[in-house]
Amino acid sequence: MTQYDRVYNFSAGPSMLPLPVLEKVRDDLLNYKGSGQSVMEMSHRSDAFKKIIEEAEADLRELMNIPENYRVLFLQGGGTLQFSMVPMNLLRKSKKADYAVTGTWAKKAYKEACRFGDIKVVASSEEDTFTWIPKFGKEDIRPDADYVYITSNNTIYGTAYNYVPDTGDVPLVADMSSNILSQPVDVSKYGIIWAGAQKNVGPAGVTIVIIREDLMGFAGEETPVYLDYKIHADNDSMYNTPPCFAIYVAGEVFKHIKATGGLDAMYQRNREKAGKLYDYIDSSELYKSPVAKEDRSLMNVVFVTGDKDLDKKFVAEAKAQGLVNLSGHRSIGGMRASIYNAMPMEGVDALIEFMKKFEEENK
Ligand SMILES: Cc1ncc(COP(=O)(O)O)c(C=O)c1O
């Protein structure tokens, strides 16, 4: 247990938030900056909230070095609504799009897009249970595709792209829900980057969409108003009541990341944390990583013992030690340690200590 008797929470999402952010939110809760009210109670049209959302956007722009010709939107509906919004807005000319299927979420996105146009699987690792990331480029995609879609980090299978596919002039759309803000990215290589907040950004309820300006304004006549990116951009994410509290906490997370060295420092810490854990797994007799070394995620570390009953025992005994939510996704079993930005090195060290002890006791 740590300060405040908090556990180390290895959940895939919602997941840990940085402790200094939680403390700040606690301190601000009843009376935000002398306004006499909490952010939860505040009008989204108030000056105080306007400042919160503007600062959140400015800080995110600074952290990710987002070019001027991109808009930042704070939306609702989670990742799942983006599976629909992307095709509804971007299938604008040929109505064709090419998808890389690298896991459950990519497949869901692909299936949803199939309702709207001519969608092709351009690359897949499904036959190997998504244990690696396919390489593809310009030569593999349809030159007249309206966009190409990838999932940059596969939360369930513990894989991540370590390259940005070259799609030439065809806009690249990336679901970065589980690795946004974990390392620097060159935003200009993408048409859209989107991410649900509940892993590296803040509480569930807000979804970040970073979209190149020229890709907006193509939603069909029949598109429901909430699902048109342009409506949100034209109204600075205030077309309707935004998820105010989630945006405020996300803004505090952005400030915290800035104050702790930005994305270069974050990347360094994430590589150290994941490196330590993978090194231990690779050196152990008991645990195995099913994921190809070069495609391993820094955020979701998947491992197995090869014995389902032992996996269950591991998860239960870890929980008793304050190391919680270590079971793999219900679709694949085994174990998964999600070590997002807010997981401190001490949490990874505590996990490795426990793994060693468990290995000793279960030889
Ligand atoms: C990579 C990825 N995309 C999309 C989703 C779906 O997000 P939501 O539950 O917000 O709809 C998840 C959920 O964990 C995810 O990990």
Taking only the tens of pLDDT, the chain with its 363 residues reads 568 999 999 999 999 999 999 999 999 999 999 999 999 999 999 999 999 999 999 999 999 999 999 999 999 999 999 999 999 999 999 999 999 999 999 999 999 999 999 999 999 999 999 999 999 999 999 999 999 999 999 999 999 999 999 999 999 999 999 999 999 999 999 999 999 999 999 999 999 999 999 999 999 899 999 999 999 999 999 999 999 999 999 999 999 999 999 999 999 999 999 999 999 999 999 999 999 999 999 999 999 999 999 999 999 999 999 999 999 988 788 999 999 999 999 999 999 999 999 999 998
Atom of ligand 1 nearest to the CA of 198: 10
- 3-state SS string for 219-237: CCCCCCHHHCHHHHHHCCC
Buried b (16+ CB within 10 A) or exposed e, 71-97: bbbbbebbbebbbbbbbbbbbbeeebb
Residue 231 is predicted with a pLDDT of 98
The pTM assigned to this predicted structure is 0.98
Residue 332 is predicted with a pLDDT of 84
Among residues 264, 339, 242, 269, the alpha carbon closest in space to that of 62 is found at 264
Residue 1 is predicted with a pLDDT of 53
Q: Which fold has domain 3-10+262-361?
A: Aspartate Aminotransferase, domain 1 (3.90.1150)
Pairing verdict, β 207-212 and 70-75: antiparallel
Q: Which CATH class is domain 32-259?
A: alpha beta
Residue 331 is predicted with a pLDDT of 79
Residue for token digits 């998964």? 336
Q: Phi first, then psi: what are they for 154, rounded to 5°?
A: -100, 100
Looking at ligand 1, which residue's alpha carbon is closest to its atom 16? 155
The residues, ordered by sequence, that sit 6+ positions from 346 with a Cβ below 8 Å of its Cβ are: 2, 8
CA dist 342 to 8, 232, 273, 338, Å? 10, 29, 11, 10
Same fold, 3-10+262-361 and 32-259: no
For a mutational test of ligand 1's pocket, the pick from 112, 133, 155, i.e. the residue with the most ligand atoms closer than 8 A to its C-beta, is: 155
Among residues 287, 297, 59, the alpha carbon closest in space to that of 176 is found at 297
Angle between the 345-361 and 308-320 helix axes, to the nearest 10 degrees? 130
**DSSP character at residue 296:** B
Judge whether 50 counts as a catalytic residue. no
- What is the distance in A from the centroid of ligand 1 to the CA of 179? 11
Residue boundaries of the structural domains of the chain: 3-10+262-361, 32-259
CA dist 281 to 300, 301, 304, 309, Å? 14, 10, 10, 19
Looking at ligand 1, which residue's alpha carbon is closest to its atom 5? 79
Judge whether 199 counts as a catalytic residue. yes
- What is the distance in A from the centroid of ligand 1 to the CA of 273? 23
Q: Which residues line ligand 1 (CB under 6 A)?
A: 13, 78-80, 105, 151, 155, 175, 177-178, 196
Residues 259, 261, 266, 268, CA torsion sign: negative
Q: How far does the chain reach from its first CA to its final CA, in angstroms?
A: 27
CA dist 250 to 196, 212, 235, 265, Å? 11, 22, 20, 19
- What is the distance in A from the centroid of ligand 1 to the CA of 12? 10
